[in-house]
Homo-oligomer: A and B are copies of this chain.
Amino acid sequence: MTVTVEERFAIHDLYAEYAAAIDEFRLHDWLELFDEECSYRIVPRENFAAGLPLALVLCESKDMVRDRVVALLEANEFAIHTDRHLVSGIRFRGRTGDVVRVDADFAVFQSNSEGEGSVFAFGQYIDEVVLAGGRARFRSRVAVMDNSCVPHAISTPI
């Protein structure tokens, strides 16, 4: 399994832009990081490990991701926190044509309206990335949350 230098950078840039788009609340930009054919899920680690289908968030098409963006932008009037994603350990697991299996690790910190911060979530991304025309997009992203017992509801994407 091989990725070229350019492909490796395109994938790293995708991961960096994904985090920034959420943390800067540019959700339309976030949407455009997904391929036309895509899925997005947030799954508790124990469910993922057991092969159980239950997801905290489940979008099985780009239209479902788009609906989520619309809902989040409407809910934003009541936004009471901001997110900060840290991502490391990007690793290449396999390749089928232009689709690369990629894993990575994430931690999300949140700050509330009082400026108080804490660790919100951490876990693993399990992804399929499509490479086309020098760009990388998510065919599928599964965010597996280690700490499924989160202190409050998940609203913004992970």
Residue positions of A touching B, CB distance < 8 A? 5, 8-9, 13, 15-17, 19-20, 23, 44-46, 82, 84-92, 103-107, 109, 111, 114-119, 121-124, 146-149
> How far apart are A95's CB and chain B's nearest CB, in angstroms?
14
Known: A5-B5, A16-B89, A111-B45. A105 touches B84 (CB 8 A): yes
C-alpha gap A143/B29 in the complex (Å): 23
Taking a contact as CB atoms under 8 Å apart, the answer to whether B84 and A124 are in contact is yes
Taking a contact as CB atoms under 8 Å apart, the answer to whether B119 and A89 are in contact is no
Of A84, A86, A104, A107, most buried by chain B (CB within 10 Å of CB) is A84
Contacts of A148 in B (CB 8 A): 111, 115
Of A9, A13, A111, most buried by chain B (CB within 10 Å of CB) is A111
Known: A82-B45, A107-B84, A114-B149. A124 touches B23 (CB 8 A): yes
Contacts of A109 in B (CB 8 A): 107, 119, 122, 146-147
Contacts of A85 in B (CB 8 A): 88-89, 105
Known: A111-B147, A121-B117. A105 touches B89 (CB 8 A): no
Contacts of A46 in B (CB 8 A): 115
